[in-house]
Structure 1
């Protein structure tokens, strides 16, 4: 597990930018996520990301000790990368995510809930994007806090949101809840997986409120269908 030196961005407060999202429901922790969400299969999505049109100026490491081999790739309406998954347990303190469970724990996330609190990693599926740098600027690519991500692993699809930012040179990290839903060990110190995870981030999408996982699934399924049609 790498040492994470997160760069926290300002909380996102923009209004919903994409159509098709369910109205805001109760805020707070989301329920357990299913292993397969929505109607679009993992195989269908993976078939569209077999080749890479590189968007990043360079490539990313998956951990401090690895070489830089992971590009950010572009498709019509999305960006994607294929990497590992390290476990982000930052944000609200819980029994699963705190200084006692995670040696790299930080009590904030780059993007916040609608009530201003940090995200809750053990219940909200979210993905960490590299902080903007000369390698790649996620914001300039149409990716924003609350944006929808299809995370694919072991023939399963999990819809998540962009919830935190990480080191400028490392890629491949998601929340405790994302890992758990995909059958990956979510332990922030010893869990994760070394390879086999595909992250498809849909451009100019936004879930509001960011903590509403049901809305992420609804919008994600719609955007995934559009992605298949347009690529």
Structure 2
């Protein structure tokens, strides 16, 4: 998230009053529009809420806020999630850190976890 809302803007760093002071804020497509754009509480918290990201052109039948069931076929763990973000058009299979934790797969935001066994 940037001060202009565009990629070339300055990233917004959380202040002492925010949940993670000194860290960048990361927006989600699903947002509480009663809160200011720079307020990190406006967006879904990846560490607290199990959610998925779906590419915008994947289907017109899904709407932000819809509920989904995600299954890790390797260990048969299941987790209900919310569709809270629009992901890149060339990639499907993104989920929140909390979802990864619930399914017992790597929740590392940089490397992620295996998606072959997750549906």
Considering Cα pairs closer than 8 Å and 6+ residues apart, tell me whether 1 or 2 has the greater RCO.
1
Matched, 1:145 2:70: no
Larger Rg: 1
- Normalising by structure 2, we get a TM-score of 0.68
SS in 2 for 1:196: coil
Q: In structure 2, what is the Cα distance between the partners aligned to 1:190 and 1:166?
A: 16
RMSD: 2.5
- Match of residue 130 from structure 1: 55
- Match of residue 9 from structure 1: none
- Match of residue 181 from structure 1: 102
Cα deviations by residue, 1:117-146 (Å, 9 ceiling, x for unpaired)? 0111100000000022xxx3x3x22x1111
SS in 2 for 1:164: strand
Matched, 1:158 2:79: yes
Structure 1 residue 94: deviation in Å? 5.6
After superposition, the Cα gap between the structure-2 partners of 1:114 and 1:180, relative to the gap in structure 1 and judged at 3 Å, is farther
Q: In structure 2, what is the Cα distance between the partners aligned to 1:188 and 1:172?
A: 13
SS in 2 for 1:188: coil
What are the ranges of 5 or more consecutive residues in structure 1 without an aligned counterpart? Answer: 1-91, 100-105, 199-231
Matched, 1:170 2:68: no
What are the ranges of 5 or more consecutive residues in structure 2 without an aligned counterpart? Answer: 1-13, 36-41
Q: State whether residues 70 and 79 of structure 2, in contact with CA within 8 Å, keep that contact through their aligned partners in structure 1.
A: yes
- Match of residue 26 from structure 2: 107
Aligned residues: 94
